[in-house]
Chains A and B, each alone.
Chain A
Amino acid sequence: MSSPVPFKPVIAGSAASGPPAATPRNVPHRGGPANPSAEALRQHFGAAIKRVDVVWGETSVVVDRARLVDIVSWLSDDPAQRYDLLADVTAVEFRDTEQPIEVVWHLRSLPYRRFLRLKVMIERGQKLDVPSVWGIHKSADWMERECYDMFGITFAGHPDLRRILMWEQYREGFPLRKDFPLRGRFSRSEQLRQALAANPEARYSMDELTIAQAFEDLPEEMRRRLSTGERTGE
């Protein structure tokens, strides 16, 4: 059976030198070979690289919060690294409340077939704030919003940091934090009542109202709040 439109199969990474890709086998728990980018990062950034771990064959680099954007930008631009795909942005909070919260970036280098995990540790008591990498990878947009929505971590420099999975008027907190109970803060009946009262479909965000004529119909006070840059409101 022939395809009507001829495809030329190209395999990413085949141009770059390196071992052929293979299914990993017998991966050691700790101490496997580290990603060569970790060593390059250490040479280039020195003290900003705090720790390099290899767990189950994956390299995690713990970096300094202040240098994060420089590091991601260098990884993306350096011709020997070219980490061009930001696969994931997320965070981890441990059950042990003494352990710091980790913000995790998963990067892939398509030309060199490499995978790297960057981490920023936020100690307890510190402000949950990390720089945004949206200026380098546009894919960070929604993933950072989700991380903010679920953990309350703010990403400085994100253009539109608001809740994404929960509705904008949600005030109960951040669901994936360990201090948030599995069943929510209220009884089922109260949650149902609030969910019905919220009626998120009937509502447009302030941002959307500014493009509509409905803006003119808003009360004076709300328009004033909008003009000062407030994003959400009742």
Chain B
Amino acid sequence: MATIKRTVEVELSTTGLDAQGKPRRVPLVTDQSGNVMTMEAPPAIEPDLAGDHMLINIGPQHPATHGVLRLVLELDGETVVRCIPHVGYLHCGFEKIGEYRQYNQIVPWTDREDYLNSPGNNVAFALGAERLFGIEITPRCTVLRVMACELSRIMSHLVWLGTTCIDIGAFTPFLWAFYQREAIYKLLEDWVGARLTVTTTRVGGMAADVPDGWVDQLRHFTRTFPKTLSEIDRVVTRNGIWVGRTIGLGVMSADEAVNHGLTGPMLRASGVAYDVRKDFPYLDYETYDFDVPVGSNGDVYDRYLVRMEEMRQSIRILEQAITRLPDGPVNTDDHRVVLPPKSKATSDMESMIHHFKQVMEGPRPPIGECYVAVESPKGEKGYYMVSDGTSKPVRWRIRPPSFVNLSAIPKMVEGHLLSDVIAINASIDIVMGEIDR
């Protein structure tokens, strides 16, 4: 295990670390003038430490595993020798169910896999289905989807930040983060009526246009949220305890990270600037001005920094999206996939046929397949859909980023202490709903 020596300026008054990153030693026994008294150490008795390895089980019901993850650890003293993860406790066969549902009926299932990122999943699924149908979306819909994606990225990172702070021992940032997350939920509730499982998109458009005044609320959020972010930043980033508990843990080099299939902030913390929004753009992300934060050490601390910076960049994207939000229709006028207005269904023959066909049979894409990936807060989230010409996909595959990211945990925790396993596990940002599906 390569040790990494880094110096982080510790601002808050903690006695944790000195400038070299080593634990600061404070003499316990001094005489009246303050000199350190030397004491003769008692003769050391070498304990017999060559014991058996211990098997310890964490989870599946354990708050620090962020869901129902189960880790079986082989310990030598307090050092992890081997880690065997077990997943699948939340498996409900989303992919199988998707094969029995029409495309618009699958959208609610995408809410429930990565439930911290529901709007982002909806957008990803809708983009995939639209590629499969070969339809274009309207300019207003494109910008609204960018807003949905970035709001859900902030939302997911806030939950990650709060829970990781709790894992490492800080409670206050959790409350601040969840307060802001609540503000985003309020925005989503105003938009579509739901908070957690929002189902914002439909194939070819959105569930609803944003209500009047919503954009002003969003603008208010983009102005107030950075204040909270900088508060968290001031409390956490240079905190001695935080730094001491995150630096040098779970290091993945750039080559290892790519080879293990890490994506998202995990990969970027290792120094690889792969962001689907930049490299394989969708929703016109190439026209937005934002930066991709990249770490250099690939440890837990860098992953934290990358996610913090990503939230700031999301705010930048949101501000640009607000200024460019065009007027116009939200749904396409392609009535193979989007229902005509209800008022026309009883007066116009063509519209009635469309209503009947879409409700009874469902839209049918041509035979084909596509893999559409978006940059979810966890990494590259891909939907691979195969159509055989019927109204239900023959295969709907979710490429879960946190599933692949978690598969590298045995490599990351080996050689670290048991207490560091919690920090490393938290840094992956797993959502078990997505892993088990």
Contacts and interface: CB of A to CB of B under 8 A. Distances in A.
A165 B389 CA distance: 30
A85 B280 contact: no
A222 interface: no
Given A7-B309, A175-B96, A23 B282 contact: yes
8 contacts: A3-B309, A21-B279, A29-B134, A29-B368, A115-B371, A138-B259, A139-B404, A143-B403
Contacts of B278: 11-12, 21
A24 to B, nearest CB: 8
Contacts of B233: 4
Contacts, number: 183
A214 B84 CA distance: 17
A10 B394 contact: no
Contact of B394 (A94, A140, A207): A94
Interface stretch (B33-41, B287-295, B354-362, B417-425): B287-295
B140 interface: no
Contact of A201 (B70, B100, B259, B404): B70
Contacts of A3: 308-309, 312
A117 B274 contact: no
Contact of A139 (B74, B97, B260): B260
Interface in A26-59: 26-27, 29-30, 55-56, 58
A143 B293 CA distance: 28
Contacts of B97: 182
A3 B313 CA distance: 11
A231 to B, nearest CB: 13
B189 interface: no
Given A7-B309, A139-B407, A88 B371 contact: yes
Interface string A113-147: 10101000000000000000000011111110010
A213 interface: yes
Given A20-B286, A23-B285, A58-B371, 14 more contacts: A1-B226, A9-B294, A56-B131, A92-B386, A92-B394, A94-B394, A95-B388, A106-B384, A110-B258, A139-B262, A182-B97, A211-B74, A212-B55, A214-B55
A188 interface: no
A87 B373 contact: yes
Overall SS of chain A's interface? loop
B294 A7 contact: yes
Contacts of A164: 87-88
Contacts of A163: 88
Contacts of A200: 89
A86 B60 CA distance: 29
Nearest to A213: B52
Given A27-B131, A88-B382, A95 B260 contact: no
Contacts of B74: 211
A208 interface: yes
A84 interface: yes
A175 B93 CA distance: 8
B82 interface: yes
A12 B279 contact: yes
A186 interface: no
B382 A138 contact: no
A89 to B, nearest CB: 10
For the side of the interface on A, what is the size category?
Answer: 35 or more
B293 A9 contact: yes
Interface string B82-106: 1010011101010111001000000
A161 interface: no
B436 interface: yes
B100 to A, nearest CB: 6
A90 interface: yes
Q: Which 4 interchain pairs have the tightest Cβ spacing?
A: A139-B261, A9-B291, A142-B407, A165-B88
Interface of A: 1, 3-5, 7-13, 20-23, 25-27, 29-30, 55-56, 58, 60, 84-88, 90, 92-96, 104, 106, 110, 113, 115, 117, 137-143, 146, 150, 163-167, 175-176, 180, 182, 200-201, 204-205, 207-208, 211-214
Nearest to A140: B261
A128 to B, nearest CB: 16
Contacts of A60: 369
A212 B305 CA distance: 39
Contact of A84 (B82, B258, B373, B436): B258
Nearest to B407: A142
A23 B259 CA distance: 27
A93 B406 CA distance: 27
A13 B273 CA distance: 9
A204 B72 contact: yes
A207 B84 contact: yes
B261 A23 contact: no
A229 B31 CA distance: 65
A85 B285 CA distance: 22
Given A58-B371, A117-B371, A211 B261 contact: no
Interface in B386-429: 386, 388, 390, 394-395, 397, 399, 403-404, 406-408
Contact of A7 (B284, B291, B386): B291
B299 interface: no
Given A3-B309, A23-B281, A115-B280, A182 B100 contact: yes
Given A23-B283, A213-B52, A142 B95 contact: no
B366 interface: yes
Contact of A110 (B279, B281, B382): B279
A200 B59 CA distance: 12
B139 to A, nearest CB: 12
B132 interface: yes
Interface in B306-327: 306, 308-309, 312
